[in-house]
Amino acid sequence: MKIGLFMLLVLFLVMSPDGIRRSLAARPSIVNIGAILRFNSTIGGVSMIAIQAALEDINSDSTILNGTTLKVDMRDTNCDDGFLGMVEALQFMETDVIAIIGPQCSTIAHIVSYVANELRVPLMSFASDATLSLIQFPFFVRTAPSDLYQMDAVAAIVDYYRWKIVTAIYIDDDYGRNGIATLDDALTQRRCKISYKIAFPANARKSDLISLLVSVSYMESRIIILHTGAGPGLKIFSLANQLSMMGNGYVWIATDWLSAYLDANSSVPAETMYGMQGVLTLRPHIPESKMKSNLISKWSRLSKKYSYSYLRTSSYAFYVYDSVWAVARALDAFFDDGGKISFSNDSRLRDETGGTLHLEAMSIFDMGNNLLEKIRKANFTGVSGQVQFDATGDLIHPAYDVINIIGNGMRTVGYWSNYSSLLSTVLPEVLYSKPPNNSLANQHLYDVIWPGQTAQTPRGWVFPSNAKELKIGVPNRFSFREFVTKDNVTGSMKGYCIDVFTQALALLPYPVTYKFIPFGSGNENPNYDKLVQMVEDNEFDAAIGDNTITMSRTVTTDFTQPFIESGLVILAPVKKHIVNSWAFLQPFTLQMWCVTGLFFLVVGAVVWVLEHRINDEFRGSPREQIITIFWFSFSTLFFAHRENTMSTLGRGVLIIWLFVVLIIQSSYTASLTSILTVQQLDTSIRGIDDLKNSDDPIGFQVGSFAEEYMVRELNISRSRLRALGSPEEYAEALKHGPKRGGVMAIVDERPYVELFLSTYCKIAVAGSDFTSTGWGFAFPRDSSLQIDLSTAILSLSENGELQRIHDKWLKTSECSADNTEFVDSDQLRLESFWGLFLICGIACVIALLIYFFTTVRKFLRHEPPEDPTPRPGGSTTLPDERTPPKKGREKCNCRNFISFLDHKEPPKKKRSLSLTPTTPLSNFTALEIEGPVRTARNGSHLYGYDMRAISALLLRPLPPPLDSSMASSSLPSRTFYRHSLPSSTSPPSRGACAAACCCLPAAVSRRRAAAQLLSAAGFLIAVSPPSLAARRGRMVVSPEDYVTAPDGLKYYDLVEGKGPTAEKGSTVQVHFDCIYRGITAVSSREAKLLAGNRSIAQPYEFSVGSLPGKERKREFVDSANGLYSAQASPKPPAAMYTITEGMKVGGKRRVIVPPEFGYGKKGMNEIPPDAPFELDIELLEVVPPAEK
């Protein structure tokens, strides 16, 4: 009271218009500012060092103040004793200062702010009390983040972890009380609350703090917010650790006082850090910068100079440093605008009694408003970031680091920024460059180590040990007593809902004491809306039973997870079923129709896959094949499919499917006959619209929400509604009908209806549920017990316990035998046929697996991978082939396999018998067969032999037998022995052909001669030429891998040679193959001769760079047999004469030959006119020009 009167006196005197004025020069040599600090505190110590650092930098910078020296007069104040601190602050105000740094205490800041307003002295304070507003204290300039933002960050953390209630411990002063009030507002916005607040004085004793913590341990919430100073806060953590309140289950969140203490103190005792393990705290975010690094680098020197060597920098040191700079910059702008420093005082402030407060010394800064305006317009980058004030007088972009105390240090687990008001792991300065995103889904923090050294997020609350017994309201039902009712013998409550509740409570990790209180007389069903209302009014702590979860009830109370599904349905009497025009669809359910149709298509597709390669009826264009699949599929329904199956697998699948079709067809016929001949029952009401459009009365259960729903939501007149209290009344009302005092239908919830229909079978449900909801237990808003019970109910559902309870109380019985005439229509369901479909499906899968296994095996045999290295057994691949790259090979094999699946499989051929001629040579006649034409197998040419010539032999008349004398004189008597099929894959040479199949005995019959010729033809067919193997496993080269030669030809080196290089003018020997669309049209390997029964492929020889010449002839002699032969080589393309230059012996090169470098307009064999093709060259030998 005395303080208040004193302040009014001060305000009255300083507002007097009379006074004495004195002036100083426009830009004086020295300008004084003041600082009100608490020297013996951590924040006060770092503030003193920061002020001295700022003065050094400002006074040493000639661009600031233009020669004016800035000095600071510091004054110590007592924050613990408000009155003494106020007196000390007022004494300081007697000095003529143009601005004041501080005070750091919110209590002193409130008092000094009143005086500063009247003396017009800007107050650069870092007090965080949110009640120090710009409107009330215009000369109060906050240079640190307000508690308004800090408490918003704390609330964001609480909401992020989905905690609903917290306990607040705070110091009992302006700073503590106003901070917790701000926190309460921030939590309310997120539907959270402070369940328990407890304050303590600044000079609280240890015993007081222990009593405080003990009372907190009895509370429900385990989330504790500690808002105090460093001294009391550290004591509380130490005592909490002794009371085992820093273990599992607890969450401690300290405001920024803790981070300021830990940042500033270079050495914190180990026992202090041990008592704070797992604590979360906030730190004002200071972005990294060069200015910040410079200040930190000289901090050690300054701290030693001013006897604070144990203190390090903290966020408040940076704010104080920037505050001094803000005053200096504002003064410079103030002087530039012609501002003068002048003070005036009032004679009525004189102290006539000679007191220690010299009020007459308090002077008014005449141009304080101008300086304040310059300060509020500050916009510069300081060590704390951007220094700029918003419309409310606070710094822009306030942000905090979320710190987790671990071990001997701190770890940043995230950030909070007012820019988005969300928690994030992204630096706030990065977020400022992006549009704000306020979606809660974007919130994220790193993992936190909580008290008790656990990474599992605590639940945040426990059932209080000193909690009172819960009063739980339970409806005392009259009808449908299986759900919940009062036992008349024992007086206890029982039923389905009671068992669910007790079993859910048993799963909670803590005990709950409760007492059931019946609601209702038991003579009729109670009103459930009133029961829920009593929970809201705190008459009941909870309401369990068959409580339907409705929108109107969820506004005032919280419900658990539904433990049973519910919804409004219509009960109506049934009548004889009238067959309609769509009766043919009724034998099967929709699911059965869909599955049957799907299997028709699946079986058709499977048979098509199995028959496609061998059956011409399943081949053709894509359109024809799709039509075939559909036709074949659905024609099996009538066993009228015309396509024959040739494969064993296809026949097996078809037999099983026809059996399934037979069963389905017979069942459909029997069910349709029953539907069309047997009388059935149906109801004329199809849905809720029929009730709304009628004027007949509608029944509902007493106490049900269905009454209000039909009136408010469906706009049904209340006069049409009839309250029914028991299942017997249901049956009577429906039996009499609307014309005899009954009702046309009853609207009730499905659980009651299912229980009712288990006894009364002549009544049916009309339509489907027109609402969807469930039953749950009601609790007050933000009840933690509601959350745990919801989890317990989900556990009951997952482990099957909920179903067991349902079967115990609500197990419905079937209708009696005399009521079978009222059973629903005889629709056939999928459950009756799933075994057949399963067997058919398994058969299809097995058939497809066998088919694809055999097809892949054929494909691998058809397309063997080539390997240039020797294989076991001595076999090797062809010398001009190499394995393609893995990636290309996979693409090629996939493409080839698909093409292989689409090609028709050739018919199987029988092996031809080998010839066994034993007739002397004198009895044979030599026949001439045309020479090789090409290696490709197309048309009438096969492996280099003209099959038309062989066919002509079959029709040519045999010559007369040779004269025996001629035979004996001209030819030696020799016997031909049996010729076996050669093991080599090379085609028979011309001589072998003549020896094997082109000599016939003259004396044999024409039939025998034909048989021998056919056997010889089979021998030729059985031998595979190398050109066919050469087309297998060819390397696939991407177009971008080709290299362009100087003459424009594109080539790719398949194999890099290691021998001599082919130069221009060199004579080279090569093998070449001209390949068009996979077919070898021209090849040097066609130049062959017969030498001692050996087939030799001759290379092509030419000069590199010479003009293409005519076909060359080379002579060959086999010395072992003395045979002589000459053979012409195929004509190579012109590109080969130049593109060979640069190759090395042993190398292989692929060339894309355009028509002008190829065979031009004439073409060659399979190469059509003006067509490009691939040229594969293998360099065998090089003869340099000098040697030649």
- pLDDT above 90 as % of the chain: 36
Output the pLDDT for position 294.
92
Is the pLDDT assigned to residue 649 strictly greater than 50?
A: yes
Q: Please answer whether residues 1035 and 883 qualify as being in contact, where contact means their C-beta atoms are separated by less than 8 angstroms.
A: yes
What integer is the mean pLDDT of 963-990?
Answer: 38
**Domain presence at residue 632:** yes
Q: What is the pLDDT of residues 448-471, one digit of tens each?
A: 999 999 999 998 888 776 667 899
More confident residue, 611 or 369: 369
Q: Which of 272-276, 460-464, 967-971, 1002-1006 has the highest mean pLDDT?
A: 272-276
Among 29-43, 221-235, 842-856, top mean pLDDT goes to 221-235
Domain end among 992, 1024, 1056: 1024
Q: Are residues 69 and 88 in the same domain?
A: yes
Q: What is the model's pLDDT at position 252?
A: 97
Residue 823 has pLDDT above 60, yes or no: no
How many structural domains does the chain have?
6
Structural domain for 852, as ranges: 581-678+828-862
Same domain, 1055 and 1135: yes
> For residue 764, what pLDDT is reported?
84
The answer on pLDDT for 520 being more than 80 is yes
Distance CA 1139, CA 1051 (A): 8
Same domain, 345 and 383: yes
In the chain, pLDDT over 70 holds for what percent of residues? 76
Given a cut of 90, whether residue 376 has pLDDT beyond it is: yes
Residue-level pLDDT at 655 = 87
- The pTM score is 0.54
Confidence band, pLDDT 50/70/90 cuts, at residue 280: very high
Q: Quick one: pLDDT band at residue 352, thresholds 50, 70, 90?
A: low
Residue 9 lies in a domain: no
Among the residue ranges 80-84, 256-260, 734-738, the one predicted with the least confidence is: 80-84
179: in domain? no
**Same domain for 715 and 650:** no
Task: Report the pLDDT averaged over residues 1163-1174.
Answer: 89
Region of poorest pLDDT, from 362-376, 573-587, 601-615, 872-886: 872-886
Higher-confidence residue: 928 or 568?
A: 568
673 and 698 fall within a common domain: no
Q: Residue range 686-694: average pLDDT?
A: 84
- Rounded to 5 degrees, φ, ψ at 1178 are -120, 120
**Looking at residue 876, what is its pLDDT?**
39
Instruction: Evaluate whether 391 touches 43 at the Cβ level (below 8 Å).
Output: no
The mean-pLDDT minimum among 173-177, 240-244, 1034-1038 falls in: 1034-1038
- The CATH code of the domain that includes 649 is 1.10.287
- Looking at the structure, do residues 966 and 857 belong to the same domain, yes or no? no
Q: Alpha-carbon distance 726 to 48, whole Å?
A: 83
Q: In this predicted model, what pLDDT tens digit does every residue of 1126-1142 receive, in sequence order?
A: 445 678 898 888 888 88
pLDDT above 80 for 964 = no
Residue that finishes a domain, picked among 990, 1024, 1058: 1024
Q: How far apart are CA 333 and CA 154, in angstroms?
A: 39
Strand partners, 1094: 1091
- In terms of phi and psi (left: phi > 0; alpha: psi -120 to 50; beta: otherwise), the region of 737 is left
Residue 111 and residue 129: Cα distance in Å, rounded?
A: 13
Range with the lowest mean pLDDT among 433-442, 916-925, 1072-1081?
Answer: 916-925
Burial environment of residue 957 by CB neighbours within 10 A (0 to 12, 13 to 18, 19 or more): exposed
Phi then psi for residue 985, to 5 deg, are -85, 0
Would residue 280 count as lying in a domain? no
pLDDT, one tens digit per residue, over 143-167 is 999 999 999 999 999 999 989 899 9
Distances (CA, A) of 552 to 529, 557, 790: 9, 9, 20
869-916 pLDDT, tens digit each = 444 444 334 334 444 454 445 555 677 777 777 676 766 554 444 333
Start-to-end CA distance of the chain, whole Å, equals 128
Mean of the per-residue pLDDT values for the chain?
A: 79
Q: Judge if the upstream peptide bond of residue 103 is cis by omega within 30 degrees of 0.
A: yes
**What CATH number should be reported for the domain holding residue 125?**
3.40.50.2300
- Closest C-alpha to 837, from 599, 1087, 521: 599
Q: How confident is the model at residue 297 (pLDDT cuts 50, 70, 90)?
A: very high
Residue 909 lies inside a defined structural domain of this protein: no
Residues 691 and 656 in one domain: no
Higher pLDDT, 87 or 310: 310
* pLDDT of amino acid 574: 76
pLDDT at 473 over 80: yes
Residues 534 and 631 in one domain: no
Is residue 80 situated within a structural domain?
yes
C-alpha distances in Å from residue 381, one per residue of 286, 313, 393, 432, 726:
12, 18, 17, 15, 79
Q: CB neighbours of 403 closer than 8 A, spacing ≥ 6?
A: 259, 280, 281, 282, 283, 410, 411, 412, 413
Lowest mean pLDDT among 311-315, 400-404, 603-607, 1116-1120: 1116-1120
Mark whether 337 and 356 lie in a shared domain: yes
Residue 1108 has pLDDT above 50, yes or no: yes
Domain assignment present for 999: yes
**Res 822: pLDDT:** 38
Query: Residue 719 above 50 pLDDT?
Result: yes
Question: What's the CATH number where 1075 sits?
Answer: 3.10.50.40
pLDDT the model gives residue 1077: 85
The whole-number pLDDT of residue 826 equals: 56
- CA–CA separation, 512 and 516 (whole Å): 13
Helix (H, G, I), strand (E, B) or coil at 139: coil
Structure tokens at 1009: 């001669």
760 close to 748: Cβ distance less than 8 angstroms: no
Lowest mean pLDDT among 462-471, 518-527, 817-826: 817-826
Q: Cα(135)–Cα(124) distance, rounded to whole angstroms?
A: 16
Range from 631-640, 879-888, 1052-1061, 1080-1089 that averages highest in pLDDT:
1052-1061
Determine, yes or no, domain membership for 1147: yes
Q: State which of 357, 388, 419 marks the end of a domain.
A: 388
- Please tell me whether residues 698 and 626 are part of one structural domain: no
Per-residue pLDDT band for 1085 (boundaries 50, 70, 90) equals confident
| 1069/1174 same-domain check | yes
pLDDT for 846 equals 92
Q: Are residue 963 and residue 1062 in the same domain, yes or no?
A: no
pLDDT at 23 over 50: no
Q: What's the pLDDT at 983?
A: 38
What values do phi and psi take at 345, rounded to 5? -135, 175
Q: Give the length of the chain.
A: 1188
Residue range 1154-1180: mean pLDDT, rounded: 89
